[in-house]
Structure 1
Amino acid sequence: MKKSILVTNWRQLAVFAGDLLAVSCAWGLAYVIRFNGAVPLDFIRTGLYACLLTVPIHAAFFRGFGLYRGMWVFASLPDLVRIVRAVAASSIVSVVAFVYVGLQPPVPRTIFVLHPVFLLMWMGGSRAAYRFWKEHRRYGDLFARGQPVVILGAGRAGANLVAELARSPEWRVVGLLDDDPNKIGREISGFKVYGRIKDLSHWAARLKAQNAIIAMPAMTREARQRAAGECLRAGVRAMTLPSIEDVVRGGATEGRFRDVNLHDLIGRAPVEVDSSAVRQMVSGRAIMVTGAGGSIGSELCRQLARFAPAQLILLEMSEFALYAVHEELGLRFPDVETVPIAGDVRDGLWLEAIFRQHSPTIVFHAAAYKHVPLMEERNAWQAVRNNVYGTFKIAAVCVANRVERFVLVSSDKAVNPTNVMGASKRMAEMVCQVMQQGAATRFEIVRFGNVLGSAGSVIPKFREQIARGGPVTVTHPEVTRYFMSIPEAAQLVLQAAAMGTGNNVFVMDMGEPVRIADLARDLIRLSGYAEDKIDIVFTGLRPGEKLYEELLAAQEETLPTHHPKLRIARAREVDHEWLDEVLAWLTQRTIPSDDQIRRDLRRWVPEYEPAVRPSLVLVQRSAREPKTVA
């Protein structure tokens, strides 16, 4: 360590001495140029005196402006600006000193112009030459190596990326594309901006590039999504720099690019959450999350932990999921007390004991059976018991213990349900509506659609099928679903909870529905395969499924809220008599058949209409040649 410091000091002294030599040489050169090579003896004498005076002045300013703190190998524009300022300041002070001393004959005024120009050329040029030599020595053998890559975006981020990739053994920039017509035809660090991003297919083929990096962090999310779509259509591997919002939120590092994923293609604008309202609701209080190990439940726990609750109570039936989320929260939020509780929300005595011991102020009820086909046959009774009776038991305990808020995480499948899972979630909503009547606890219901990458969702299944070489199975070519990210869903649940005044059904703005077939094709291309390499097979709608999901029933209307992504639905009212009959049915000693359950559900949920299973199976052997097979 001591040797390294000595070497560094020696190098700084050598550079300092070289700069002072440059001051003297530039001074002499200025005299030679001024007098065309024939300097009179009188001017030689005063010139030497002036040089002896100006060298220490320049030395003082060079040190004062910190010219020797930087490293030449990284010399850049800020270093040049620092040199200009130091030379300008020292030259002005030198002029004042010469006037004060009164040299005769005086220093020619031309010298005061020529000297700083020559000095700047010497100091700036030497540093640039050293950097060029050093980089050529380190990276010169990388030229023409690496995979060719096109940069999408010729702004500041694109320019920085070009400079960075010049030192990469893995990548070789072959050109840039940008939608700004003023940039087309220009060059950045010797690389041409060839055309618009929409022409990526043409330029990728012409430049023989199979890779593209989206370098537009300051652009709108829609612009980045269009660029990602162009990459897929061009058949190139798509990578991206993180957006400014991602960097600000701490979810990414500026300058580090990664592969484009589905969030970049169908992701939505970041959620603006009223952090002060959520913090006021959560901070310093005991919060309970049921289903804490699930996709939504675990993300709710992460979001809640950010607002410093006094205690975070994790209810989960799966032992491994409970262990995983408890370990993660302990590492990420060591100052938040987390209480892992294993058990079933249908166990009323157990719930009473937990509530007496921990006295939660707010309960987020995310525990539910959600897989539509799995719950439609052979498991229908368990779906109803867990989703409806479980909701009733924990809601009743909340009312008895005067819990402040109860937030039910519901689903778009509860709207005009065609399956047992959706009907059971609608019944859970209706249970909360009844429990609200006359209760001090405020019941809030939040509906949303599918979340990208959640457990049991279609995307992990598609990835597994692609990894095996296909085929990718899609139920129907026209089936559509709403999608949002898991963090967005959790943030909107918290926002709705903070906004709710009791007996509210919040509906999230899910944006535009996405065709599952298009999603499958995008995943195939994102995985680096051409469409004709992985078969897409249409297998027909599964039990209980419908072609599209809804967020509102026909008889429901919505009211706006102050949050642009949340509206309040006016749901159909139910009474205590309905709940008494449902509880009698749920606690019967005999287990009804699946068909009997579906018949009874139509009585409890009038809008429930069981889906008729299709009699045909649609098969698509490739992405372009569909077949229908009986």
Structure 2
Amino acid sequence: MKTFLQNKALPKWIILIIDQIISTWSFALSFFIIRQFDFETILRGHFFVYSGIYMAISVMVFYAMRIHTGLIRYSSTDDIYRIFTAVLMASLLYGAIIGFWVSPELHIDSVNIYVVLLVNFFISSSVLIMMRLGAKALFYYIKRGASGDKESVLIYGADSFAILVKQALELSNAGRLNIVGFVDDNPNKIDKHIQQKRVYHINDIEKLQRKLKIDKLVILSEELKSDARKNAIETCVELGIKVVTVPPTEQWMSGQLRMNQIQDLRIEDLLQRPPIVIENDKISADLAGKRILITGGAGSIGSEIVRQVLSYKPEMVIICDQAESPLHDLQLEMEEQFPEACLKLCIADIQNFNRMYALFKEHNPQMVYHAAAYKHVPMMESNPSEAILTNVLGTKNLADLSMTFDVEKFVMISTDKAVNPTNIMGASKRIAEIYIQSLNNISAQPKLQDNVTGTSLQQTRFITTRFGNVLGSNGSVIPRFRSQIEKGGPITVTHPDITRYFMTIPEAVQLVLEAGTMGRGGEIFIFDMGQPVKIVDLARKMIKLAGLTSDDIEIVFSGLRPGEKLYEELLNQEELTIPTHHEKIKVSKVREYTYNKVLASINELLNLNKDGDELDTVKQMKRIVPEFKSKNSRFEELDSMVQ
């Protein structure tokens, strides 16, 4: 019993000996049965010869098939099949040896040995299987008894995968889990029993909670996107039932579910939407064999662009960032995942024109994905000079170099905060949008001449993509809330009515690649971000997902931060957007600017910024972007000065 409780396994040679004792005993019993237990005649005959030969053959077959190597507590249907096979092979081999060698050579044939083998097959295989199932049942009985209180668990689904999850939980170290049953929405399965467990309807979860005190709902992580499953999860969250996920079965190590693979449901899982369908063939045609520069490549969005772009087999990916450690970590990850890829890691600041010029000259990129930017609203409100240098000057440097070096496409990652901006960060991104869009409106854009053929080279196409917050990005609200919950609270929310749009990083990047493929130049693509989410509701759900209540974790409203507004805008209104062939991507109708006017305004902005005159610099930003009205900011007084 102590061995069981300590999770120690019997040595393999002991299991082999036990198996052979059972096999030999079974053979002897079969022999006695056929001879009607005539012990005096049996023992005077050739019983020991027959038994010795069978034991020798059985040992060799069982050893060769490695029947003794499995852990008895994890015995499965595959093990049962292997035992049947081993006993059958031993019987056939023994019958052949007796029939073709022992009987003719030793002239012993005093018993119908083939009938003995038939009886032995059923007795031996049955006892070997019963021994394993009995040991397995005893192990879990002892383990459950030692683990104290048991948690009542429901498993979502009633298909083969749900059954595998049930078996895996019973075979894992989760001895204190009591599988109550399955929940499903298929009417053909409701009230049926699977492996002695009843299938309930998902609408019965609340009733089951009252009756059986359900502690957990277990669900496969790959099944989170179904509406029915989401409803079940929402019900559990509201009832205080903890929801845990297990990875797809192909990710289980050696077919066994490990306890560290069972994860608590994250708020990101609840906010996910149905998978986005993109035209991979067109994206592949656009990226395959190309030299691609990705700025901000070590950041949340940039690194995901790197991952997805590499899957389309480009000729080279140039990853540019000024953050040394994240860039190094990304390099190690990509070298492991894409060992054949050609990667060029460049530590560089996009504000430095000469450094970026050298980078373009050395690698001559054909595509540029510009994700480098300062994005934190309060931080940029306190440091407008840096927002302008990176978000405006840095973008201008890259756009100008893209034209100089005949880049085919320049795709800029923008933000919903650029729409009717109320802060420095949003306004700086809007100015960057205006500049690169104006490059497509140059009526007679000078084109470089090929030094060899003298022909005109293709004009660079500038494309902007605009979306809201991404789940799991650096500095986003969700990691901050999670950290505050782990510390016992309180959770700080700026305002009870503040809302935001959310999208996962992979789906945002998928749409970036799709928009980049469809862009002809000059467009600002708007992504469908779904429904806005109230941040306070997000906080409450995260508290419940942690198995806590509002009594355990306090929510404190700290007030809107400088530059922050209650509602982000994406220009989703039909009259302000044009649909595309992709239902989740639209083109914004925005005012267009002439290149010369934009260039003069931005040059003046950069000069004012260089002189260090902060107020005049922000005034110029407001002149370039008339809809820029500061909120909760020290720059609000400037709005009345700029008409």
Short-chain TM bin: 0.7 to 0.9
Of 266, 269, 282, the match for 2:271? 266
Distance of 2:173 and 2:249 partners within structure 1: 24
| Cα deviation, residue 571, structure 1 | 4.1
| Deviation string, structure 1 residues 289-340 (Cα, Å, up to 9, x no partner) | 22233221233233334455554433334xxx33222233235415443323
Distance of 2:15 and 2:397 partners within structure 1: 76
Question: Does residue 1:396 correspond to 2:415, yes or no?
Answer: no
Question: Does residue 1:550 correspond to 2:570, yes or no?
Answer: yes
| Deviation string, structure 1 residues 225-277 (Cα, Å, up to 9, x no partner) | 33332232121332111257999xxxx99993111101211122344455555
3-state SS, counterpart of residue 392 of structure 1: helix
Structure 1 unaligned segments of length 5 or more: list them.
1-6, 42-47, 102-106, 615-630
3-state SS, counterpart of residue 463 of structure 2: strand
Of 559, 572, 594, the match for 2:579? 559
Q: Residue 410 and residue 244 in structure 1: after superposition, are their counterparts in 2 closer, same or farther (change >3 A)?
A: farther
Of 494, 513, 519, the match for 2:532? 513
- C-alpha contact 1:228 1:264 (8 A) present in aligned 2: no
Equivalent position amino acid for 1:342 in 2: A
Aligned positions of 1:345-494 closer than 5 A: 345-375=350-380, 377-437=381-441, 438=445, 440-494=459-513
3-state SS, counterpart of residue 588 of structure 1: helix
State the match for 1:150 in structure 2: 153
3-state SS, counterpart of residue 576 of structure 2: coil
| Deviation string, structure 1 residues 466-501 (Cα, Å, up to 9, x no partner) | 344333222333322111122222233233334434
State the match for 1:129 in structure 2: 131
| Deviation string, structure 1 residues 559-605 (Cα, Å, up to 9, x no partner) | 323x4543444543322233233233223346587665565445433
3-state SS, counterpart of residue 318 of structure 2: strand
Question: Does residue 1:584 correspond to 2:629, yes or no?
Answer: no
3-state SS, counterpart of residue 547 of structure 1: coil
Q: Residue 434 and residue 553 in structure 1: after superposition, are their counterparts in 2 closer, same or farther (change >3 A)?
A: farther
- C-alpha contact 2:140 2:175 (8 A) present in aligned 1: no
Task: Indicate the percent of aligned positions where both proteins have the same amino acid.
Answer: 32
State the match for 1:235 in structure 2: 240
Number of aligned residue pairs: give it. 588
Structure 2 unaligned segments of length 5 or more: list them.
1-10, 42-46, 97-102, 104-110, 446-457, 634-643
Q: Residue 67 and residue 544 in structure 1: after superposition, are their counterparts in 2 closer, same or farther (change >3 A)?
A: closer
Q: Residue 67 and residue 560 in structure 1: after superposition, are their counterparts in 2 closer, same or farther (change >3 A)?
A: same
- C-alpha contact 1:313 1:341 (8 A) present in aligned 2: no
| Higher mean C-alpha displacement, 486-495 vs 66-75 | 66-75
Q: Residue 576 and residue 587 in structure 1: after superposition, are their counterparts in 2 closer, same or farther (change >3 A)?
A: same
Equivalent position amino acid for 1:505 in 2: I
State the match for 2:8 in structure 1: none
State the match for 2:639 in structure 1: none
- C-alpha contact 2:225 2:273 (8 A) present in aligned 1: no
| Deviation string, structure 1 residues 356-395 (Cα, Å, up to 9, x no partner) | 12222222111122222333x4433442443223211210
Distance of 2:493 and 2:570 partners within structure 1: 20
Q: Residue 89 and residue 323 in structure 1: after superposition, are their counterparts in 2 closer, same or farther (change >3 A)?
A: closer
Q: Residue 141 and residue 528 in structure 1: after superposition, are their counterparts in 2 closer, same or farther (change >3 A)?
A: closer
State the match for 1:342 in structure 2: 348
Equivalent position amino acid for 2:328 in 1: H
- C-alpha contact 1:26 1:118 (8 A) present in aligned 2: yes
3-state SS, counterpart of residue 143 of structure 1: helix
State the match for 2:106 in structure 1: none
| Cα deviation, residue 523, structure 1 | 1.6
Distance of 2:31 and 2:64 partners within structure 1: 21
Distance of 2:225 and 2:250 partners within structure 1: 10
Q: Residue 372 and residue 216 in structure 1: after superposition, are their counterparts in 2 closer, same or farther (change >3 A)?
A: closer
Q: Residue 246 and residue 451 in structure 1: after superposition, are their counterparts in 2 closer, same or farther (change >3 A)?
A: farther
| Deviation string, structure 1 residues 20-52 (Cα, Å, up to 9, x no partner) | 7646744764786xxxx99xx9xxxxxx9xx99
State the match for 1:619 in structure 2: none
3-state SS, counterpart of residue 532 of structure 1: coil
Distance of 1:71 and 1:587 partners within structure 2: 72
- C-alpha contact 2:491 2:553 (8 A) present in aligned 1: yes
- C-alpha contact 1:292 1:315 (8 A) present in aligned 2: yes
Distance of 1:264 and 1:414 partners within structure 2: 28
- C-alpha contact 1:142 1:168 (8 A) present in aligned 2: no
- C-alpha contact 1:216 1:224 (8 A) present in aligned 2: no
Q: Residue 548 and residue 244 in structure 1: after superposition, are their counterparts in 2 closer, same or farther (change >3 A)?
A: farther
Q: Residue 332 and residue 244 in structure 1: after superposition, are their counterparts in 2 closer, same or farther (change >3 A)?
A: same
Distance of 2:260 and 2:160 partners within structure 1: 11
| Higher mean C-alpha displacement, 127-136 vs 196-205 | 196-205
3-state SS, counterpart of residue 424 of structure 1: helix
Distance of 1:455 and 1:219 partners within structure 2: 24
| Deviation string, structure 1 residues 69-94 (Cα, Å, up to 9, x no partner) | 77472443234445667888999999
3-state SS, counterpart of residue 203 of structure 1: helix
| Cα deviation, residue 406, structure 1 | 1.2
Distance of 1:324 and 1:90 partners within structure 2: 60
| Cα deviation, residue 342, structure 1 | 2.7
| Cα deviation, residue 183, structure 1 | 5.0
Q: How does the TM-score come out when normalised to structure 2?
A: 0.75
Distance of 2:385 and 2:59 partners within structure 1: 87
Equivalent position amino acid for 2:530 in 1: G
Q: How does the TM-score come out when normalised to structure 1?
A: 0.76
| Deviation string, structure 1 residues 87-145 (Cα, Å, up to 9, x no partner) | 8899999999xxxx9xxxxx99xx98x98587435413432223422552576243362
- C-alpha contact 2:154 2:214 (8 A) present in aligned 1: no
Equivalent position amino acid for 2:496 in 1: P
State the match for 1:78 in structure 2: 78
| Higher mean C-alpha displacement, 363-372 vs 61-70 | 61-70
| Cα deviation, residue 177, structure 1 | 4.0
- C-alpha contact 2:75 2:133 (8 A) present in aligned 1: yes
| Deviation string, structure 1 residues 380-417 (Cα, Å, up to 9, x no partner) | 34424432232112100110011222110011222333
Distance of 2:316 and 2:491 partners within structure 1: 44
| Cα deviation, residue 510, structure 1 | 1.6
Distance of 1:253 and 1:130 partners within structure 2: 22
3-state SS, counterpart of residue 454 of structure 1: coil
Question: Does residue 1:502 correspond to 2:521, yes or no?
Answer: yes
- C-alpha contact 1:388 1:427 (8 A) present in aligned 2: yes
3-state SS, counterpart of residue 587 of structure 1: helix
| Deviation string, structure 1 residues 6-31 (Cα, Å, up to 9, x no partner) | x8579658746854764674476478
Distance of 1:322 and 1:72 partners within structure 2: 47
